[in-house]
Amino acid sequence: MSSYVKPRKFTALLKLKDKSIPQLIAEAYGIVDAMTGNPWFPVLSVPLTVVKQAIDKLVAAQTLAQTRARGTAAAMHVEAATVEVMLKQLAGDVTYVAGQNPDDGDAIIQSAHMYQRSKPVNPSNGYRVHATSNSGELFIMTRRVPHAGYEFEMSTDPHLESSWTTIYKGLKCKCLKTGLQSGTRYYIRVRTITNVGESVPSDVLSSVVL
């Protein structure tokens, strides 16, 4: 069976789209506060003091814009664009650190008040298990997920986590397991694997082998 081992990819995301200026200011201050003194980020491409100064300038520009004086709104948006550029630089730094420390990648991104791409789709929908007409065989199939691999696990005691063993890990969304004991009930679960990690296990299904 072909193996499917794809390294976990981390991307620190910023939810800046369609944010108002006050919301951008709040988000930016939150990121600076979260990263200040954070041991994961001893060196950054743009110092947090510089980012905070840019946010402070945006706050001042927002105050001026409220006077509706000519040119103040445009000046405010220039300052907002500067803040967004700096936040994206910080997101690049966080992405790099998370990638260098994959065991802690999710926690690193969260500690910076940023967001990671969602986990792969749980494969429970369209997932089925049944015994074939041949003795000692089980056929397992789940729905195909674009750009994903699959891991099928089997157990005879689903409540004992240590009893689960991998029977297939690869690019195919189906698996034929042979050599099983006739008359035994086997429990199966499956998970998808993409470049953002593994999904949680599917619902557990079972079947008695003929």
Comparing C-alpha atoms, which of 46, 47, 51, 58 is closest to residue 30?
51
With a pLDDT cut of 90, the percent of the chain lying above it is 56
Question: Taking all residues of the chain, what is their mean pLDDT, rounded to a whole number?
Answer: 88
Please answer whether residues 38 and 126 qualify as being in contact, where contact means their C-beta atoms are separated by less than 8 angstroms: no
Give one DSSP letter per residue of 47-97, joined into a string.
-HHHHHHHHHHHHHHHHHHTTT-TTHHHHHHHHHHHHHHHHHHHHHHHHHH
* Distance between CA atoms of residues 77 and 89, nearest Å: 19
What is the pLDDT at residue 127?
A: 81
- Give the three-class secondary structure for 163: helix
When pLDDT is cut at 50, 70 and 90, the band that residue 11 belongs to is confident
For residue 140, pLDDT over 60 is answered with yes
For residue 130, pLDDT over 90 is answered with no
* Distance between CA atoms of residues 93 and 114, nearest Å: 12
Helix 48-65 × helix 21-35 angle, to 10° = 160
What is the pLDDT at residue 8?
A: 61
pTM summary value: 0.58
Mean pLDDT calculated for residue range 126-135: 86
Please answer whether residues 55 and 24 qualify as being in contact, where contact means their C-beta atoms are separated by less than 8 angstroms: no
Provide the 10 A C-beta neighbour count for residue 159.
Answer: 8
Structure tokens that stand for 135 in this block: 């003795």
What is the pLDDT at residue 194?
A: 79
- Give the three-class secondary structure for 13: strand
Give the lowest-confidence range in 100-104, 174-178, 185-189.
Answer: 100-104
Mean pLDDT calculated for residue range 11-21: 88
DSSP letter, residue 2? -
For residue 2, pLDDT over 50 is answered with no
